């Protein structure tokens, strides 16, 4: 049986596909988007996150740590964090009484994950929801075999399946996933290849080609466009998204996802710096205008997931 | 909302509740003159008639539905025959910071000079308390349980459709037939039955007199009214009140007015809990609505206006004043009349109709405290109805609450009702299931399941009142297994349930003997047929409830003991008990472990939830099926009103990390803040309780507004409700409000006077709640808050 590193199972998720969903977040991502809400998803390995403000200074973690590196974290400076010698064994997390330390990422097999998904079956069925695999990138970074097995098993059990992908994956794998999923949530971020490469670290040619193939093959897709002020929400970019979508073989609906800074404090817990710290949330009036402009291309445009 | 309704609503909102001594004075007059001349039922009926003949008749400016319980809106009568307030009580009512009632010097003087001298030592409370055993008093003052009937009469009942098909004259005819069918030869109880039936006959007469007086008053007002339109309205009111409730209503307005006069009869006769309740109002009104819409005598807007005028009447009636423990267990102006929408018809088909939708609009527009209202959701009901209600819920007034009509049917069937009676039932009060129009389902008191644990952890000794309150169930420091903790808890449970039920028997027999309710008896089947009073087992079904409180706190506390002391052995029982005794002073690490490192109820974690099930089963087995004194049986339900706050004040620190004196968890909701996996996990945990074995459970779920935004939010709420109910759950209610807004309201109560929140089975003005309860509501986990 396959397994993968799962860092969160978000129940009652209502923005990752239709109905009430259980969203499964897998670790590891080929992109490096500065606005990412889930910085813990980038690395494929488990990580220790620390809520410094909850540290009691009780020092119970120090003797528990086999590497001798755990200890109270200074809540003001957020220092004394696990370094590269941390083996993510979770011993410090187990003994931490206040929940200041968290182990993000747990290796799970298909059976255990399915049991978790099944817990909300009644809500999935009553709301027309199901499961969404997200990340990270559920199709890349070694997650694909696990994902395919999960999709197959969910299919057998009649659970509606969505997969949230950045599209920067091999076409064959993507198509294998698409065959076993009921819906793909597919990101289009920046249409200019050079800027795409500059901002998120890879070019977009493969992403665009893959989306065209999905359209040609008749798969169900929702295109999702994160509206990040100054990075993705300019008129040229959104016009290019609309033109691209309008030119596809199928008229996929577009979901605009307005920026909000909720991921910011997660960076601190991982000892990372959030580059967009000062960015204001998207202006709702502007978002409505942007949606209207895209609708002028004959597209179905929604605001929010 | 039109100008008329706006003014009526505003007047109801702006007035401060006050105490009226009129009823007490009239009743005392009557008793002084007539005592000893009549049987008890006749004395009750004749005194009720005297009240109906002499109390002030009030018809307010612009009103279309008329009649008040007191001499004017928000003037609250008292019931000295049950509990005689002292002048000091009245002063406290006037000055206490929350749920106060203004009390004039005249009222206090009347009480001092006329009421107290007559009723002291004669009120039912004064007669009952000396009869209760010492053990009862000790447990009561320690806060192990409360007693519902020490200041208010039994009631907890709801009208069915009979009053729309029959007038009081028809019921008198039934009384006469039942009387002539009495046979001294075969039934030695005949004289008592005949007396009871004659009392019902007099009580019917009394309400007809009261209605006639309204008709006359309307005629008088019409004669001097200069505004032509208003004169016509008054003339119409005059006609309506001349007809109903003596005769069955023929029109929408007559139907509403008729119910209201019955309601006034019930709440004037006695101060029964939950006042009175029209039940399935949409079912009952639908035939009148459809007929009049078809013949053109009514349109949707005038029906709306009448309903809104009707709504204001309920809001004009704050609960009768409560003091002491009763005020703490139910600290609210709400009087719990709880209107049911949707659900099933007696034949099992979908009962949603156009009036159901109209009533949702009324609820949305009025957003006032009373009447409470709820939707009954069966699998037969369309999603359109559920989603229309979800749009109202999203406004954040805490209305309507949501019930599983199919589960209620099964609960009532399990208790032995017929399927038709069960389907005609619904929910009343906070969340209580009942067969409307046919059942006396009496809540007898809250039961402090967490206090029972505190006693078990102290070998039966109560640390607060410093008494050996319960049996010696063993020194927990000697316990070697977790099962011994459970055994000790069970031993204490058995002991105190027994004390509670023995005490209940005293209240029950004293009410049956001294406080019959002949008017209420007219309205509830089969009191006439049996010739027996509502309070003496006259109803078709006679149920007694004990309400369990503290499920979440109890479960988490047991989980802490099980996991920290016995499984992980992270500490000893001695460490834990010392920490509890010191309210976790110097042991914050231990407290944090209890808060963060144990399985907690509300997270769909079987390790915690199995403990909940074990406690629930024990409570159920202890209570369910025991006979009561009215020919029926005991059952349990799981709701707190505001009692989880009071019960928290009598308990020291608990093993789940809760500090001494702070509120317990409410209803079957998780401990405030303990649920971390979202609403579906909360609902799954709660659904592991076997709701069908109860007569009601209460689950609160709090959302921030953005989670429920848009059509997606409405669909999600509907999906949650359907998903929870598919697991046979009984009820859920939603608070849609940001914690920030509530904190602002604490700092600026004047600016947030009209902020309504869901408390526990009812909604209340946030600023009217005690500070403890306000903090408790803020602490409840808001799903969607980041």
Question: Into how many domains does chain A fold?
Answer: 1
Tell me, yes or no, if B615 is annotated catalytic: no
Contact A97 B710 (CB under 8 A): no
Of the ranges B290-304, B321-335, B566-580, B665-679, which one carries the lowest mean pLDDT score?
Answer: B321-335
Tell me, yes or no, if B614 is annotated catalytic: no
Which of A12, A56, A129 has the CB atom closest to B678's CB atom? A12
Instruction: Classify residue A44: in a domain, yes or no.
Output: no
Cβ-based contacts of A123 with chain B (< 8 Å): 680, 719-720, 723
Mutation target for A interface from B382, B592, B676, B786: give the one with most A CBs within 10 A.
B592
Asked if B484 and B474 touch (Cβ cutoff 8 Å), the reply is yes
**What is the model's pLDDT at position A265?**
77
Instruction: Classify residue A207: in a domain, yes or no.
Output: yes
Identify the contact set of chain B against chain A, taking CB-CB distances under 8 A. Answer: 588-590, 592-593, 595-597, 604, 677-681, 684, 707, 710, 712-713, 715-716, 718-720, 722-724, 726-727, 783, 786
Task: Output the six-digit token pair for B681.
Answer: 């996990």
Determine phi and psi for B507, rounding to 5 degrees.
-60, -45
Tell me if chain B has a CB within 8 Å of the CB of A127.
yes
Of the CA atoms within 13 Å of residue A54, those in its CB half-sphere come to 16
d(CA B682, CA A11): 11
Residue-wise pLDDT for B192-220, tens only, equals 999 999 999 999 999 999 999 999 999 99
Instruction: Classify residue A238: in a domain, yes or no.
Output: yes
* CA dihedral sign of residues B413, B417, B419, B423: negative
Domain boundaries, position A182: 8-30+122-303
Chain centroid to Cα B196, Å, comes to 28
Q: Quickly tell me which residue has 């099980």 as its tokens.
A: B562
Tell me if chain B has a CB within 8 Å of the CB of A288.
no
Residue-wise pLDDT for B751-784, tens only, equals 787 788 878 777 788 888 888 888 888 888 777 6
**What is the model's pLDDT at position A263?**
66
Instruction: Classify residue A106: in a domain, yes or no.
Output: no
Instruction: Classify residue A109: in a domain, yes or no.
Output: no
Contact A97 B590 (CB under 8 A): yes
3-class SS of residue B773: helix
Instruction: Classify residue A252: in a domain, yes or no.
Output: yes
Q: Give the residues across from B441 on adjacent strands.
A: B543
Other beta carbons less than 10 A from residue B60's beta carbon:
17
Containing H/E element for B591? helix B588-596
Determine phi and psi for A164, rounding to 5 degrees.
-100, 115
**What is the model's pLDDT at position A262?**
65
Q: Of A43, A136, A47, A39, whose CA–CA distance to A83 is shortest?
A: A47
Mutation target for B interface from A97, A222, A255, A266: give the one with most B CBs within 10 A.
A97
Instruction: Classify residue A218: in a domain, yes or no.
Output: yes
- The answer, yes or no, to whether residue B786 has pLDDT greater than 50, is no
d(CA B280, CA B263): 15
Residue-wise pLDDT for B418-468, tens only, equals 999 999 999 999 999 999 999 999 999 999 999 999 999 999 999 999 999
Looking at the complex, report in whole angstroms how far the Cα of residue A173 sits from the nearest Cα belonging to chain B: 32
Which of B590, B593, B710 has the CB atom closest to A304's CB atom? B710
Query: What stretches of A247-283 show up as alpha helix (H) in DSSP?
Result: 264-269
Tell me if chain B has a CB within 8 Å of the CB of A15.
yes
Q: Quickly tell me which residue has 């409730």 as its tokens.
A: B245
Tell me if chain B has a CB within 8 Å of the CB of A97.
yes
Strand intervals (E) in B410-511: 426-428, 432-434, 439-448, 461-462, 467-468
Tell me if chain B has a CB within 8 Å of the CB of A19.
yes
Q: What is the mean pLDDT of residues B47-61?
A: 98
d(CA A186, CA A224): 6
Contact B592 A126 (CB under 8 A): no
CA distances for B93 relative to A21, B78, B314, B320, angstroms: 51, 12, 21, 11
Cβ-based contacts of B596 with chain A (< 8 Å): 97-99
- Tell me the residues of chain A between 243 and 272 that have a Cβ less than 8 Å away from chain B: 262
The pTM assigned to this predicted structure is 0.95
Determine phi and psi for B744, rounding to 5 degrees.
-60, -40
Looking at the complex, report in whole angstroms how far the Cα of residue B721 sits from the nearest Cα belonging to chain A: 8
d(CA A253, CA B153): 61
Please report the ipTM that was assigned to this predicted complex.
0.95
- The answer, yes or no, to whether residue B111 has pLDDT greater than 50, is yes
Other beta carbons less than 10 A from residue B1's beta carbon:
13
**What is the model's pLDDT at position A260?**
76
B706 pLDDT band, cuts 50/70/90, is confident
Which of B719, B783, B786 has the CB atom closest to A129's CB atom? B719
Q: Dihedral of the CA atoms A59, A65, A71, A77 (nearest 10)?
A: -150
d(CA A52, CA A56): 9
d(CA A217, CA B628): 71
Contact A128 B719 (CB under 8 A): yes
Of the ranges A230-234, B479-483, B704-708, which one carries the lowest mean pLDDT score?
Answer: B704-708
Chain centroid to Cα B140, Å, comes to 21
DSSP state of B321: P
Looking at the complex, report in whole angstroms how far the Cα of residue A90 sits from the nearest Cα belonging to chain B: 14
Note the maximum CA span of chain A: 64
Q: Of B534, B337, B510, whose CA–CA distance to B440 is shortest?
A: B534
What do you get for the CA distance between the two ends of chain A, in Å?
Answer: 32
Q: Of B682, B655, B472, B673, whose CA–CA distance to B581 is shortest?
A: B655
Which of A58, A98, A127 has the CB atom closest to B596's CB atom? A98
Chain centroid to Cα B182, Å, comes to 36
Task: Output the six-digit token pair for B607.
Answer: 């390790």
d(CA B358, CA B10): 21
The mean pLDDT values, 10 residues at a time, for chain A of 305 residues are 94 94 96 91 91 89 93 79 87 94 95 98 98 95 96 98 98 98 98 97 97 98 95 95 97 92 77 83 88 96 87
d(CA B692, CA B730): 8
Q: Quickly tell me which residue has 């009723």 as its tokens.
A: B119
Instruction: Classify residue A161: in a domain, yes or no.
Output: yes
B333's CB contacts (< 8 A; 6+ apart) are B17, B99, B318, B319, B369, B370, B764, B768
Asked if A257 and A305 touch (Cβ cutoff 8 Å), the reply is yes
d(CA B405, CA B499): 34
Q: What CATH number did the domain enclosing A153 receive?
A: 3.20.20.70
Instruction: Spot the catalytic one: B195, B432, B454, B772.
Output: B432
3-class SS of residue A294: helix
B384 pLDDT band, cuts 50/70/90, is very high
Residue-wise pLDDT for B392-408, tens only, equals 999 988 899 999 999 99
Strand intervals (E) in B160-244: none
- Tell me the residues of chain A between 200 and 219 that have a Cβ less than 8 Å away from chain B: none
């Amino acid at each position: 049986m396959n397994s993968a590193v799962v860092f969160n199972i978000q129940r009652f998720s209502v923005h990752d596909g239709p109905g009430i969903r259980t969203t499964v977040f897998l670790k590891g991502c080929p992109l490096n988007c500065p606005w990412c809400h889930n910085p813990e998803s980038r690395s494929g390995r488990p990580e220790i996150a620390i809520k410094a403000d909850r540290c009691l200074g009780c020092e119970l973690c120090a003797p528990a740590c086999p590497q001798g590196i755990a200890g109270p974290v200074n809540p003001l400076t957020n220092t004394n964090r696990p370094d590269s010698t941390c083996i993510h064994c979770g011993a410090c997390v187990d003994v931490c009484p206040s929940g200041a330390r968290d182990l993000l990422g747990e290796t799970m097999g298909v059976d255990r994950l399915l049991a978790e998904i099944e817990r909300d079956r009644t809500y999935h069925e009553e709301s027309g929801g199901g499961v969404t695999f997200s990340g990270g990138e559920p199709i890349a970074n070694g997650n694909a075999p696990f994902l395919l097995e999960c999709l197959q098993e969910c299919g057998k059990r009649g659970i509606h399946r969505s997969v949230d992908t950045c599209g920067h994956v091999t076409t064959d794998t993507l198509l294998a996933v698409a065959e076993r999923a009921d819906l793909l949530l597919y990101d289009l971020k920046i249409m200019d290849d050079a800027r795409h490469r500059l901002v998120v670290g890879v070019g977009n040619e493969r992403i665009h080609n893959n989306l065209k193939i999905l359209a040609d093959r008749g798969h169900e897709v929702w295109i999702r466009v994160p509206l990040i002020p100054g990075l993705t929400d300019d008129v040229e970019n959104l016009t290019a998204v609309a033109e691209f979508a309008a030119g596809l073989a199928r008229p996929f609906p577009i979901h605009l996802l307005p920026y909000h800074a909720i991921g910011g404090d997660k960076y601190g817990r991982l000892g990372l710096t959030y580059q967009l710290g000062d960015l204001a949330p998207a202006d709702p009036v502007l978002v409505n205008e942007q949606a209207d402009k895209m609708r002028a291309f004959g597209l179905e445009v929604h605001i929010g997931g | 909302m039109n100008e008329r309704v706006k003014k009526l609503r505003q007047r109801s909102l702006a007035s401060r509740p006050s105490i009226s001594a009129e009823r007490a004075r009239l009743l005392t007059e009557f008793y002084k003159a007539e005592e000893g001349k009549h049987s008890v039922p006749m004395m009750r009926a004749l005194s009720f008639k005297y009240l109906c003949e002499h109390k002030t008749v009030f018809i307010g400016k612009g009103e279309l539905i008329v009649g008040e319980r007191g001499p004017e809106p928000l003037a609250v009568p008292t019931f000295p025959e049950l509990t005689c307030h002292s002048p000091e009580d009245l002063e406290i009512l006037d000055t206490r910071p929350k749920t106060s009632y203004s009390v004039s010097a005249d009222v206090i003087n009347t009480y001092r000079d006329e009421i107290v001298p007559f009723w002291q030592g004669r009120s039912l409370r004064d007669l009952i308390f000396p009869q209760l055993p010492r053990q009862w008093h000790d447990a009561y003052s320690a806060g192990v349980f409360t007693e519902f009937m020490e200041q208010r009469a039994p009631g907890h009942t709801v009208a069915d459709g009979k009053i729309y098909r029959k007038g009081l004259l028809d019921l008198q005819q039934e009384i006469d037939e039942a009387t002539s069918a009495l046979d001294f030869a075969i039934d030695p109880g005949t004289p008592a039955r005949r007396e009871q039936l004659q009392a019902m006959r007099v009580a019917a007469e009394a309400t007809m007199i009261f209605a006639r007086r309204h008709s006359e008053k309307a005629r008088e007002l019409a004669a001097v009214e200069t505004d032509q339109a208003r004169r016509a309205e008054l003339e119409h009111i005059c006609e309506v009140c001349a007809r109903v409730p003596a005769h069955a209503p023929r029109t929408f307005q007559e139907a509403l007015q008729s119910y209201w006069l019955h309601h006034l009869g019930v709440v004037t006769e006695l101060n029964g809990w939950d006042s009175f309740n029209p039940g399935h109002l949409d079912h009952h009104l639908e035939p009148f609505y459809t007929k009049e819409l078809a013949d053109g005598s009514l349109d949707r807007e005038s029906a709306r206006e009448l309903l809104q005028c009707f709504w204001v009447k309920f809001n004009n009636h704050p609960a009768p004043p409560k003091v002491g423990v009763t005020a703490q267990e139910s600290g609210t102006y709400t009087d719990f009349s709880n209107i049911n929408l949707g659900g099933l018809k007696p034949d099992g088909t979908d009962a949603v109709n156009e009036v159901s939708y109209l009533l949702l609009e009324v609820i949305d527009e009025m957003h006032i405290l009373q009447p409470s209202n709820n939707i009954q959701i069966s699998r037969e009901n369309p999603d359109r109805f559920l989603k229309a209600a979800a749009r109202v819920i999203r406004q954040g007034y805490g209305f309507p609450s949501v019930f599983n009509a199919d589960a209620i049917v099964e609960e009532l069937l399990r208790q032995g009702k017929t399927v038709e009676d069960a389907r005609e039932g619904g929910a009343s009060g906070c969340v209580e299931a009942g067969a409307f129009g046919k059942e006396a389902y009496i809540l007898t008191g809250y039961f402090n399941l967490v206090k029972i644990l505190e006693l078990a952890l102290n070998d039966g000794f109560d640390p607060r009142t410093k008494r050996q309150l319960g049996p010696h169930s063993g020194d927990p420091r000697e316990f070697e297994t977790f099962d011994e903790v459970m055994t000790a808890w069970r031993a204490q449970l058995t002991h105190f349930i027994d004390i509670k039920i023995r005490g209940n028997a005293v209240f029950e027999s004293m009410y049956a003997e001294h406080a019959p309710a002949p008017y209420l008896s007219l309205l509830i089947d089969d009191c006439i047929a049996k010739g027996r009073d509502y309070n003496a087992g006259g109803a078709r079904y006679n149920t007694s409830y004990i309400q369990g409180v503290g499920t979440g706190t109890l479960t988490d506390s047991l989980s802490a003991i099980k996991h920290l002391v016995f499984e992980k052995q992270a500490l000893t029982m001695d460490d834990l008990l010392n920490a509890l005794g010191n309210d976790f002073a110097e042991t914050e690490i231990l407290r944090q472990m209890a808060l963060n490192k144990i399985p907690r109820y509300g997270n769909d974690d079987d390790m915690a939830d199995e403990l909940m099930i074990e406690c629930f089963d024990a409570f159920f087995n202890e209570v369910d099926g025991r006979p009561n004194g009215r020919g029926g049986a005991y059952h349990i339900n799981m709701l707190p009103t505001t009692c989880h706050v009071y019960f928290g004040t009598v308990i020291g620190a608990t093993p789940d990390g809760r500090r001494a004196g702070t509120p317990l968890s409410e209803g079957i909701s998780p401990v405030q803040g303990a649920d971390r996996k979202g609403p579906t996990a909360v609902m799954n945990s709660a659904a592991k309780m076997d709701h069908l074995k109860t007569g009601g459970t209460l689950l609160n779920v709090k959302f921030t507004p953005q989670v429920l935004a848009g059509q997606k939010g409405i669909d999600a709420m509907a999906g949650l409700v359907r998903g929870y109910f598919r697991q046979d759950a009984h009820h859920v209610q939603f608070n849609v409000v940001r914690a920030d807004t509530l904190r602002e309201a604490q700092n600026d109560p004047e600016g947030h006077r009209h902020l309504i929140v869901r408390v526990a089975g009812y909604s209340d003005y946030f600023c009217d709640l005690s500070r403890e309860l306000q903090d408790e509501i803020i602490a409840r986990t808001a799903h969607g808050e980041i």
